[in-house]
């Protein structure tokens, strides 16, 4: 079919018209025929079975019955409220059909004593069954309609329902559309791919998704359409990556020089794990080529990403370039500064930090040294993006916890050089492979999947509030051994009075249970001044206090090796990735560490799953997979990424196998024929060009 017909505005479809057309545009984003074809049902109802009235059960499920309407009346059921009631019979009994609105046009459409089919949910009042707002169709119409045994149910909105656009109406529009277009949809895959994967045709897939004759036909249609959607997204992502490697030239770091070698041979504070060695090799090979590196480095809390980043920076310095590290918060930037300065102290390297609170005089020096090239490494927050910050030659930009930075913010860093710097993005939020393939499909991915030797896995237990006395005894024992404790309270929003009260109540009761002078307690929360926060943190880090009572301010980047117990209060109020991040604050020294999840007895099923997952595994990737299943991809990356994938039919959690298959095929095709010039790929190229024109990949990915 010429695709032109699919470009027809939706109001021209018979039975739609301007008013309905406007509603479909506004409520469902359906502007033209093509949008309606790709408006897929979100569930199906099996209409293969007809029930008799005496077989009805009070299960709340939808049923269909053949019979006749023998009587219609209006009944007042509340002050000024009426309902329309029709008596419906078959040869085994009778039920009431009720309508609470739209009486006039419903009454006109009802036919007495004619055989019809009703469909809807039955409810039992006393001993009498009734059905509210049923779908009704004359039996003669029912038999000849295109509608199959599996009835599609389409997503809808309250406005549409109130304006009389029911599921039945959308079904009718769909039938009309298939009649007008004669279902002649253009194939989007080459024939060899269809044969190899045993796919049904595009035409059959679209027909069977809307009018499936059987569950088998439906499954084949779903597979074909899901595969297609994911395949073209992967094709775009991978092409983008390949184009970037060809087009965007990088600085080739050909030299492994004295800074890198001196550090590696003489100053490594501990031997690298195999995973760290593998990742450094991947980074070296990227930066040694003529293309710009764009790599995502994933590693759980404590897996040693910082040292990998530092060694990558040394490569930049060896080749005569500068490096920068950008972190989302001052606490984290400071921590990186302390950590990297410690690593670099034996090397003759100039490292400085630039944040919002850097004094003006210091800033001037930093700006000057960056421009004349005498400053090798700069660590900072968003302050690095200011126009005043100019580099002599930035060769490597390391970005920590990148999902907290927007795309524009990152591109500002690129523009600080004629040739963009190599980019290493680090995250301690493990991203499941499935999501990484979609979200970061244009980045190369490295994973540090083993912890440094000598680290003991943290033991996690779940305790109810009623066990508190035992938990407190355990804390006293740990403190007696010279260890320190975190007690974290949830903070949903910084300003919520209730959360603040929880924290202060908690602090007071802990102060009573752990009194001075035997114990001393620090407190940390978002309402404190930065200087007070720093001094409390410092006291705890230096071991002057035994217990740190805090809100989730503590979550990112605080490193106190002597702290061995993390207590998370009201743990059910935290998401899995947050629980995992908090747990990562302990277990940084050689001693056995513990994480205790405190909850009330009332837990939802999801909360139970979260607690069980935390107790069972320390593997961030496993936790991220469970989190993805519980929350869906939208929430996982935090609010900035809430539109993660606006997919029409596929689901990257449930369809991860199809996603993997789609990615492999896209990779294989692009490796063999990058520009899609082979005759058999003409059809792929046409769809790809059309998609790129209409839908940039970033419409899929926020």
Q: What is the pLDDT of residue 636?
A: 41
Q: Indicate if 481 and 391 belong to the same structural domain.
A: no
C-alpha span between 287 and 268 (Å, rounded) = 22
Give the CA-trace dihedral at 475, 477, 481, 482, to 10 degrees: 30
Residue 698 confidence (pLDDT) above 50: no
Is 192 domain-assigned? no
C-alpha span between 663 and 598 (Å, rounded) = 42
C-alpha span between 628 and 645 (Å, rounded) = 13
Q: Which single residue is written with the structure tokens 């002057």? A: 544
Q: Indicate if 518 and 657 belong to the same structural domain.
A: no
Assess contact for 574 and 609: CB atoms under 8 A. Answer: no
Helix (H, G, I), strand (E, B) or coil at 102: coil
Residue 701 confidence (pLDDT) above 60: no
Q: What is the pLDDT of residue 680?
A: 94
Is 321 domain-assigned? yes
Q: What is the mean pLDDT of the chain?
A: 86
pTM of the model: 0.63
Give the domain-ending residue among 146, 161, 193. 146
Give the domain-ending residue among 392, 415, 448. 448
- The angle at the Cα of 146, spanning 140 to 150, to the nearest 5 degrees, equals 105
Of 429, 469, 486, 471, the closest CA to residue 636 belongs to 429
Q: How far is CA 153 from CA 77, 156, 211, 222, in A?
A: 31, 9, 11, 15
Assess contact for 307 and 363: CB atoms under 8 A. Answer: no
Query: What domain range includes position 366?
Result: 258-448
Q: Indicate if 465 and 577 belong to the same structural domain.
A: yes
Q: Indicate if 273 and 363 belong to the same structural domain.
A: yes
Helix (H, G, I), strand (E, B) or coil at 480: helix
Is 641 domain-assigned? no
- For 525, list phi and psi in degrees, rounded to 5: -150, 170
Q: Indicate if 355 and 241 belong to the same structural domain.
A: no
Assess contact for 311 and 264: CB atoms under 8 A. Answer: yes
Percent of the chain with pLDDT over 70: 90
Q: Indicate if 435 and 515 belong to the same structural domain.
A: no
- The angle at the Cα of 267, spanning 266 to 271, to the nearest 5 degrees, equals 95
Q: What is the mean pLDDT of residues 293-307?
A: 85
CB atoms within 10 A of CB 629: 13
More confident call, 673 vs 456: 673
Per-residue pLDDT tens digits for 642-669: 334 567 888 776 787 898 899 999 999 9
Of 129, 168, 169, 150, the closest CA to residue 49 belongs to 150
Q: pLDDT band for 182, please (50, 70, 90 cuts).
A: confident
Percent of the chain with pLDDT over 90: 48
- For 401, list phi and psi in degrees, rounded to 5: 50, 65
More confident call, 116 vs 401: 116
Token readout for 218 is 């439906």
Residue 495 confidence (pLDDT) above 80: no
Is 9 domain-assigned? no
Residue 517 preceded by cis peptide, ω within 30: yes
Residue 266: DSSP 8-state: I
Assess contact for 177 and 5: CB atoms under 8 A. Answer: no
Q: What is the mean pLDDT of residues 543-548?
A: 94
Of 373, 297, 305, 299, the closest CA to residue 335 belongs to 305
Q: pLDDT band for 334, please (50, 70, 90 cuts).
A: confident
Q: Indicate if 443 and 349 belong to the same structural domain.
A: yes
Q: What is the mean pLDDT of residues 266-295?
A: 91
Helix (H, G, I), strand (E, B) or coil at 67: strand
Q: Indicate if 425 and 332 belong to the same structural domain.
A: yes
Residue 646: DSSP 8-state: -
Rg (CA), the chain: 32
Q: What is the mean pLDDT of residues 575-591?
A: 85
Q: Indicate if 468 and 583 belong to the same structural domain.
A: yes
- The angle at the Cα of 701, spanning 697 to 702, to the nearest 5 degrees, equals 125
C-alpha span between 610 and 573 (Å, rounded) = 10
Residue 147 confidence (pLDDT) above 70: no
Q: Which single residue is written with the structure tokens 């990356």? A: 637
Q: pLDDT band for 638, please (50, 70, 90 cuts).
A: very low
Q: What is the mean pLDDT of residues 586-605?
A: 90
Among 180-184, 228-232, 543-547, which stretch is predicted with the lowest mean pLDDT? 180-184
Per-residue pLDDT tens digits for 2-26: 467 889 999 999 999 999 999 999 9
Among 163-167, 200-204, 222-226, 678-682, which stretch is predicted with the lowest mean pLDDT? 163-167
CA 543 to chain centre: 39
Q: What is the pLDDT of residue 433?
A: 67
What residues pair up with 123 in beta bridges, in sequence order?
130
Q: Indicate if 490 and 551 belong to the same structural domain.
A: yes
Q: What is the pLDDT of residue 645?
A: 56
Of 473, 438, 511, 71, the closest CA to residue 234 belongs to 438
Residue 400 confidence (pLDDT) above 70: yes
Q: Give the CATH number, domain containing residue 501.
A: 3.40.50.300
More confident call, 436 vs 599: 599
Q: What is the mean pLDDT of residues 161-177?
A: 91
Is 181 domain-assigned? no
Is 441 domain-assigned? yes
Among 199-203, 239-243, 423-427, 517-521, which stretch is predicted with the lowest mean pLDDT? 239-243
Number of domain units in the chain: 4
More confident call, 409 vs 579: 579
C-alpha span between 6 and 3 (Å, rounded) = 5
Is 628 domain-assigned? no
Q: Indicate if 593 and 465 belong to the same structural domain.
A: yes
Q: Give the CATH number, domain containing residue 52.
A: 2.40.50.140
Which range has highest mean pLDDT (181-190, 409-418, 626-635)?
181-190
Residue 2: DSSP 8-state: -
DSSP E strand stretches across 59-213? 62-78, 81-90, 93-99, 116-125, 128-132, 135-138, 150-153
Give the domain-ending residue among 394, 419, 448. 448
Q: What is the pLDDT of residue 149?
A: 67
Residue 445 confidence (pLDDT) above 60: yes
Q: Indicate if 550 and 687 belong to the same structural domain.
A: no
Per-residue pLDDT tens digits for 124-138: 887 889 999 998 989
Residue 620 confidence (pLDDT) above 80: yes
- The angle at the Cα of 365, spanning 360 to 368, to the nearest 5 degrees, equals 120
C-alpha span between 6 and 597 (Å, rounded) = 55
Is 17 domain-assigned? no
Of 108, 88, 113, 112, the closest CA to residue 98 belongs to 88
């Amino acid at each position: 079919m010429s695709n032109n017909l699919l470009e027809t505005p939706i109001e021209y479809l018979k039975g739609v018209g301007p008013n309905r057309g406007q509603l479909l545009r506004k409520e469902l984003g359906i502007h033209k025929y093509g949008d309606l074809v790709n408006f897929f049902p979100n569930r199906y109802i099996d209409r293969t079975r007809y029930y008799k009235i005496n077989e009805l059960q009070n299960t709340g499920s939808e049923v269909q019955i053949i019979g006749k309407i023998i009587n219609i009346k209006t009944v007042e059921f509340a002050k000024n409220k009426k309902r329309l009631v029709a008596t419906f019979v078959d040869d085994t009994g009778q039920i009431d059909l009720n309508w609470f609105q739209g009486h006039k046009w419903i009454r006109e459409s009802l036919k007495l004593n004619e055989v019809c089919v009703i469909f809807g949910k039955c409810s039992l009042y006393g001993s009498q069954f009734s059905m509210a707002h049923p779908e009704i169709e004359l039996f003669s119409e029912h038999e000849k309609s295109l509608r199959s045994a599996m009835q599609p149910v389409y997503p809808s909105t309250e406005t549409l329902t109130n304006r009389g656009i029911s599921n039945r109406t959308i079904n009718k529009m769909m039938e009309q559309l298939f009649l007008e277009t004669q279902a002649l949809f253009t194939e989007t895959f080459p024939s060899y791919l269809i044969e190899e994967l045993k796919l049904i045709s595009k035409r059959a897939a679209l027909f069977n998704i809307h009018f499936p004759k059987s569950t088998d036909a439906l499954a084949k249609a779903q597979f074909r359409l899901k595969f297609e959607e994911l395949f073209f997204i992967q094709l775009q992502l991978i092409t983008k990556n390949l184009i970037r490697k060809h087009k965007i030239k990088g600085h080739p770091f050909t030299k492994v020089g004295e800074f890198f070698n001196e550090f590696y041979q003489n100053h490594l504070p501990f031997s690298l794990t195999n995973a760290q060695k593998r990742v450094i090799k991947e980074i070296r090979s990227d930066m040694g080529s003529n293309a710009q590196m764009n790599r995502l480095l994933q590693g759980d809390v404590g897996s040693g990403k910082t040292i990998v980043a530092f060694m990558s920076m040394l490569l930049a310095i060896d080749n005569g370039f500068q490096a920068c590290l950008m972190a989302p918060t001052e606490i984290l930037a400071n921590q990186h500064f302390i950590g990297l300065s410690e690593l670099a102290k034996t090397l003759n390297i100039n490292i400085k930090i630039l944040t919002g609170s850097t004094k003006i005089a210091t800033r001037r020096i930093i700006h000057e040294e960056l421009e004349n090239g005498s400053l090798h490494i700069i660590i900072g927050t968003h302050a690095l993006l200011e126009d005043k910050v100019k580099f002599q030659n930035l060769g490597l930009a390391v970005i920590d916890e990148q999902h907290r930075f927007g795309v524009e913010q990152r591109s500002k860093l690129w523009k600080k050089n004629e040739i963009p710097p190599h980019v290493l993005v680090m995250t301690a939020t493990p991203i499941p492979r499935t999501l990484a393939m979609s979200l970061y499909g244009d980045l190369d991915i490295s994973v540090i999947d083993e912890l440094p030797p000598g680290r003991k896995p943290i033991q996690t237990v779940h305790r109810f509030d009623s066990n508190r006395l035992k938990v407190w005894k355990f804390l006293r024992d740990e403190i007696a051994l010279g260890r320190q404790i975190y007690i974290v309270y949830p903070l949903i929003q910084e300003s919520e009075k209730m959360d603040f009260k929880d924290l202060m109540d908690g602090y007071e009761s802990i102060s009573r249970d752990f009194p001075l002078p035997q114990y001393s307690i620090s407190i940390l929360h978002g309402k404190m001044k930065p200087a007070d926060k720093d001094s409390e943190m410092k006291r705890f880090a230096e071991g002057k206090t035994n217990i740190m009572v805090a809100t989730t301010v503590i979550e990112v980047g605080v490193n106190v090796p002597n702290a061995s117990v993390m207590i998370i209060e009201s743990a059910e109020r935290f998401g899995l990735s947050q629980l995992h991040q908090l747990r990562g604050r302990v277990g940084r020294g050689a001693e056995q560490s513990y994480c205790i999840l405190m909850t009330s007895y009332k837990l939802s099923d999801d909360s139970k799953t979260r607690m069980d997952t935390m107790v069972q595994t320390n593997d961030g990737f496993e936790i991220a997979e469970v989190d993805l299943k519980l929350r869906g991809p939208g929430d996982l990356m935090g609010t900035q990424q809430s539109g993660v994938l606006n997919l029409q039919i596929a689901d990257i959690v449930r369809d991860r196998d199809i996603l993997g298959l789609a990615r492999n095929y896209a990779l294989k095709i692009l490796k063999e024929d990058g520009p899609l010039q082979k005759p058999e790929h003409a059809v792929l190229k046409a769809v790809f060009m059309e998609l790129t024109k209409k839908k940039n990949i970033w419409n899929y990915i926020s």
